[in-house]
Amino acid sequence: MTDTLTPVLTDDWDAERSWTLATYESRGGYGALKKALTMPQDDIITAVKDSGLRGRGGAGFPTGMKWSFIPQDNPKPKYLVVNADESEPGTCKDIPLMMATPHTLVEGVIISSFAIRANHAFIYIRGEVLHVIRRVQAAVAEAYAAGHLGKNIHGSGYDLDVVVHAGAGAYICGEETALLEGLEGRRGQPRLRPPFPAVAGLYASPTVINNVESIASVPSIIANGADWFASMGTEKSKGYGIFSLSGHVERPGQYEAPLGITLRELIDLAGGMRHGHRLKFWTPGGSSTPLLTDEHLDVPLDFEAMAGVGTMLGTRAIQLFDETTCVVRAVLRWTEFYKHESCGKCTPCREGTWWLVQTLAALEQGQGSEGDLDLLLDQCENILGRSFCALGDGATSPISSSIQFFRDEYLAHLTGGGCPFDPAASTVWAPSLTKAGA
């Protein structure tokens, strides 16, 4: 039986000066790199395939398979790009990882680049996290000084340069092709696919793009073996992952567990919902994944089971809201976010998110009619599947799911002529328990 929590990536976060090379190496760091450099590159790709690791950036595509798509007969240079844009509302795992143990990521970058035969790698970090950028810059500098990066790494004949690149504020740059545009010094607007980045990515060359947590998981797979990784998790969702709990729970934070843990177990570990309150709705994997309710406490948090209840595992960004929270207010705010972040390239998303905000804002103030709920769903239908990238699709998730579960609450805004909730009751400093509930 696997333990309930299985700290691997988070295991060193409480170590003294965990961000330094000295601490990382004293705990076995860069051992996997030494091993990898003696392996045939295809064996590394096979190990990652066999481990069952699926992308931790939201979509869950098998990482080893993605690597194997890189056409090795293509004479162009190959690139590895790490997606450290972490901007999906609720998602807060990659940032603490890079702050506490940036060398885990750097080691993963070197092994992964070696496997796909890239001599250049880029870490694209959102610009709004200054100290994280410092720590990753410093870790890369330390890795060069120790001979883990640069020319002829540890006598292997393999060369690798890594550039730490700071973004400049744009959620859409988390979308992989928009990220490439940003990295090429352009506006971050998604590219048409095909061609896929594996064939024509950065500078039209074969490129692998992976999330921070995906790449940081690679050293553990090389060090401990594919079977070790696959011994955790569920049948098709293997391994461990960081679950991020935020909101109205006693102890918000990062909980690293095998995929398939349930929300009930996680809330239990986190000391329950805040005292005197109960769970009302939650996002399983960020705001772009349809909301769930307290009916879903026992659904395994893996890719398949989440799809089975009409949502997505996403980035395991679990935002928890109790009964003091107005779902219409929450959804309106997310919708304003999507409208603000829409890159403007395609009409369904650019115009659609604008209309969604108009309709929702009126409803929140108690204006409109019941027919506006159908109008909203209609607008969502015109965006979902018709937008150029998944940002537009994501914008519809909170709306359609909240209408599905909380139609009456929308209607209460209309009958009551406004919002029936007191926002002060939801705050951290609200006088607790006695005032529970609306």
**Would residue 437 be called left, alpha or beta, if left means φ above 0 and alpha means ψ between -120 and 50 degrees?**
left
Choose which of 388, 405, 406, 421 interacts with ligand SF4 (CB under 6 A). Answer: 388
How many CB atoms within 10 Å of residue 131?
11
Choose which of 95, 100, 209, 346 interacts with ligand SF4 (CB under 6 A). Answer: 346
Shortest distance, CB of residue 371 to other proteins, whole angstroms? Answer: 26
Does the protein bind ligand SF4 through residue 352 (CB under 6 A)?
no
- Residue pair 177/189 in contact by the 8 Å Cβ criterion: no
Choose which of 84, 105, 118, 349 interacts with ligand SF4 (CB under 6 A). Answer: 349
Q: Which residues contact 114 (CB under 8 A, 6 or more apart)?
A: 36, 37, 41, 44, 158, 160
How many CB atoms within 10 Å of residue 314?
26
Of the ranges 79-87, 131-139, 309-317, 345-353, which one interacts with ligand SF4 (CB under 6 A)?
A: 345-353
Q: Rounded distance, CA 357 to CA 348, Å?
A: 14
Choose which of 182, 241, 352, 368 interacts with other proteins (CB under 8 A). Answer: 182
Does the protein bind other proteins through residue 151 (CB under 8 A)?
no
Q: Rounded distance, CA 156 to CA 20, Å?
A: 24
Judged by CB under 6 A, the chain residues 376 through 395 that form the site for ligand FMN are 389-391
Q: Rounded distance, CA 210 to CA 124, Å?
A: 11
Shortest distance, CB of residue 60 to other proteins, whole angstroms? Answer: 5
Does the protein bind ligand SF4 through residue 172 (CB under 6 A)?
yes
Q: Cβ-closest residue to ligand SF4?
A: 349
Shortest distance, CB of residue 369 to other proteins, whole angstroms? Answer: 25
Of the ranges 135-143, 151-159, 348-356, 400-408, which one interacts with other proteins (CB under 8 A)?
A: 135-143
- Residue pair 104/9 in contact by the 8 Å Cβ criterion: yes
29 to 58: interface string for ligand FMN, x by CB under 6 A:
--------------------------xxxx
CA distances from 29 to 46, 195, 218 (A): 22, 37, 12
Does the protein bind ligand FMN through residue 175 (CB under 6 A)?
yes
Q: Rounded distance, CA 106 to CA 148, Å?
A: 9
186 to 215: interface string for other proteins, x by CB under 8 A:
xxx----xxxx-xx---x------------
Of 308 and 415, which has the nearer Cβ to other proteins?
A: 308
Q: Rounded distance, CA 356 to CA 380, Å?
A: 8
- Residues in the site for ligand SF4, rule: CB under 6 A? 172, 190, 342-346, 349-350, 387-389, 391-392
